[in-house]
Structure 1
Amino acid sequence: MNKELREFRRLERVCLEQAALSTMDLARGGLLKVADDCRIAAEAIEAQTPRRAFTGAVQALMQVWSTTRVPNRH
């Protein structure tokens, strides 16, 4: 999945660069549309990528905080 993500990001970058160099409105618009599609695809891949280390750290902190919390004595 990392390879696909890198490829979509690379294609997005290439399309944006080519759109900046394009002198034709139709070509520029098409390149920008493809770049946007590549960005959306890359974001979808990123959303599916598990963030195990970060998630594990957050869960561990939540567990520690919940066990060390001092009860409210009002």
Structure 2
Amino acid sequence: MNRELREFRRLERVCLEQAALSTMDLARTALLKVAEDCRLAAEAIEAQSPPHGAFAGAVQALKIALTATRPSSRH
């Protein structure tokens, strides 16, 4: 397991823990969204065949995760 994958999984856990403790709906919703984005980024890293380099792989995984979860602004 590479460092970026572990970090995204750690951030996902932290966000979920903080969301559970949050008393504000907006903060809880935002933390859950960040946790979801981290999960998607981790899954994208796991799905990559050969890594393209540590930083480039993490950036690519995050791009994939963010584009998969954001609605398109094009009509």
**TM surpasses 0.5:** yes
Pair 48,40 (structure 1): closer, same or farther in 2 beyond 3 Å: same
TM-score normalised by the chain length of structure 2: 0.63
RMSD, aligned α-carbons: 1.4
Pair 1:46 & 2:46 matched: yes
Partner of 1:37: 37
Partner of 1:21: 21
Look at both structures and tell me which one has the larger radius of gyration over its CA atoms. 1
Report the Cα offset of residue 49 of structure 1.
Answer: 4.5
Number of matched pairs: 50
* Structure 1: 4+ residue segments shifted above 4 A: none
In 1, distance between residues paired with 2:38 and 2:49? 17
Report the Cα offset of residue 46 of structure 1.
Answer: 0.3
* Secondary structure of residue in 1 paired with 2:23: coil
* Secondary structure of residue in 2 paired with 1:23: coil
Pair 17,31 (structure 1): closer, same or farther in 2 beyond 3 Å: same
In 2, distance between residues paired with 1:19 and 1:26? 10
Name the structure with the higher helix share: 1
Q: Deviations over 1:22-58 (max 9, x none)?
A: 00000000000000000000000000145xxxxxxxx
The unaligned stretches of length 5 or more in structure 1 are: 51-74
